Amino acid sequence: MSWCGVVTQPDIIAELADFFVRFDQVNWVLAVGVFENLMKLSVRVSQLGGHSGEVLRNVVEGLGRRRP
């Protein structure tokens, strides 16, 4: 897991997740940061078929609120 803090561009969070998942013996990465007062999450998995997006949706389902 990587805490990115407050970021100026939301893409930084995804880029950090992409970077860390390339490390040896790293299978899953969760990068978390804040952009414009909203928490942004990015998950990556090193193996094909890991379904990281589906896992993340299941974890956060029902939490928070959607932006209009």
Whole-number Å distance between alpha carbons of 49 and 7? 29
Specify the pTM.
0.78
Q: Count Cα neighbours of 65 within 13 Å in the Cβ-side half-sphere.
A: 3
Number of domains in the chain: 1
In this structure, is residue 66 part of a structural domain?
Answer: no
Per-residue pLDDT of the chain (68 residues; tens, 9 = 90+): 999 999 999 999 999 999 999 988 988 999 999 999 999 999 988 876 667 778 777 777 777 776 66
Give the residue numbers spanning the domain of 8. 2-60
In this structure, is residue 67 part of a structural domain?
Answer: no
In this structure, is residue 68 part of a structural domain?
Answer: no
Per DSSP, the three-state class of 43 is strand
